[in-house]
Amino acid sequence: MRNIIALADKELRSYFASPIAYIIIGLFSLLFGWFFYVYVSYFLRQSMQMQFGGGGNMNVNQAVIRNVLMNASVIILFVMPMITMRTYSEEKRSGTIELLLTSPVTDFQIIMGKFLGALGVYVAMLAVTVLYVAVLFWYGNPEWRPIAAGYLGLLLIGASFVAWGLFLSSVTKNQIVAAFLTFAFFLMLWVINWIGDSSGPTTQAITSYLSITEHLDDFTKGVIDTKHVIYYLSFITFGLFLTAKSVDSERWRG
């Protein structure tokens, strides 16, 4: 466990030693803030219209938080490849992969260290957005449980992206190629349920289950369903398993 923590700390420091982490976090928080502003403005306008029209009250969790978190998942689709593209491809390009593989650490420790390091950057991204949500608690009274569930969903989907980003980074020496492959794979998982919309019920059920965003929807509603948690954990585990196989093959080739 100590080796994993040391490797994760090294990875995390390498991100913040360069402008990469700051650019990614800044870009993510800027886009998140834009969506937050748009939905809060819409919520205020609709609330005033309903108030003067004698209607009921709007739910801030459904009208703002849910929409913002779903749009945040779209931003994640674009920024996560920038986080994971260098994890293994840069090691291969610079030639340090041989030193890493011959060091007194196991493949499992290397993979988990890189996984936790990249995940740490992602958690920092999400932590910045909590400041926006805090504004709603300062001026209003939203329910915290749906918000916590939504952030849990974002954490799981981000961890899934990191796991598969590691694998796709391990199959190439070029960071740009790794980023492109990762984005293409994530995009496929994003739109796969569109195929089911024009297919039969069996195909629709399969594509809906494989779609990584379909499982996020319940989290943004405040519902934590074990089948969604199991899906993401299985997705993460399989991605790390393929990374282990890729790293093992690299060791044998070396």
pLDDT tens per residue across span 12-42: 888 888 888 899 999 999 999 999 999 888 8
Segments in the chain forming alpha helices (H): 2-16, 19-52, 60, 66-84, 89-94, 97-101, 107-139, 144-169, 175-197, 201-210, 214-220, 226-253
Whether residue 2 is predicted with pLDDT greater than 90 in this model: the reply is no
pLDDT at 93: 75
Above 90 in pLDDT, residue 151? yes
Residue 1: pLDDT band (50, 70, 90) is confident
C-alpha closest to that of 239 among 142, 164, 174: 164
Question: Using 50, 70 and 90 to split pLDDT, how confident is the model at 98?
Answer: low
Write out the residue range of the structural domain in which residue 67 sits.
2-253
Angle among Cα 90, 95, 99 to the nearest 5 degrees reads: 110
Give me the number of domains the chain comprises. Answer: 1
**229: confidence class by pLDDT, cuts 50, 70, 90:** very high
Read off the pTM.
0.89
Any idea which of 43-47, 130-134, 159-163, 181-185 has the lowest mean pLDDT? 43-47
